[in-house]
Amino acid sequence: MNEQEKAEVNLSTEEKFKEAARIVFTKKGYAATKTRDIAEQAGLNLALLNYYFRSKEKLFEIIMIEKVQQLFAFISPALNDTNTSLEEKIDWVAVNYIEMLTKNPDLPIFVLSEIRTNPERFAKIIQLNTFVLKSHFVKQLAERKPGINPVQLFLNFLGMLIFPFIAKPVFHSTSAMSDDMFNQLLEDRKTLVPKWMKLMLE
């Protein structure tokens, strides 16, 4: 038994539930997830879930806060770095965001569809103004292209990074593209997206 296996076995009961909840909630969404699914995934007794987290709803909120952070706050420090140029931000975010999303391909559609289903719940979690829409990155966009709403360019940037992951299930369900082809496409995007963004800035 290696160190990682030991670590997994030695996870606290609470942490085992959270890890199981991450997997099941992300895959099925809140409404379609049964507490029994989570207990089974965790290999633990169902009654313990309520002992540790009081309710399905409370456990979901814990996971959801994590996931929203992961999706939005991941790029926030880079976007707000006052010491980097617009081009440097674009290059860094494209590569690192695509890598993070490749490891968590269901993350965007999970978070965005749960927000749509229950928007009120998320007003408190997301501080979009601070993190993103008033970021240094958006200020730099506004300076570079004064005639255009910087949100337009920001949407293009995020869209070009995130949309392939949103559309992925369509390719999959139709067998229109193999996993290898899709991964190659994403790998190419790490350099292509910055190239296209810079075209839009000229």
Partner DNA sequence: GTCTATAGAGGGATAGAC
Partner DNA sequence: GTCTATCCCTCTATAGAC
Is the Cβ of residue 28 or residue 144 nearer to a copy of itself in the bound state?
Answer: 28
Residue 33 DSSP symbol: -
State the number of CA atoms in the 13 A half-sphere of 149 facing the CB: 5
Query: Which residues inside 27-66 make contact with DNA, applying CB under 7 A?
Result: 33-36, 44-48, 50-51, 54-57
> Alpha-carbon dihedral of residues 25, 178, 169, 163, nearest 10 degrees?
100
Looking at 65, 99, 163, 178, which residue binds a copy of itself (CB under 8 A)? 163
Query: Which residues inside 5-34 make contact with a copy of itself, applying CB under 8 A?
Result: 28-32
Query: Binding string to DNA for residues 139 to 158, with x set by CB under 7 A, is what?
Result: --------------------
133: its two tokens? 């829409």
- Which has the closest alpha carbon to 21: 42, 52, 51? 42
* 160 contributes a contact to a copy of itself by CB under 8 A: yes
Alpha carbon distance 109, 20 (integer Å): 19
Minimum distance, C-beta of residue 13 to DNA, in the bound complex (Å): 4
Residue numbers at the binding site for DNA (CB under 7 A): 13, 33-36, 44-48, 50-51, 54-57
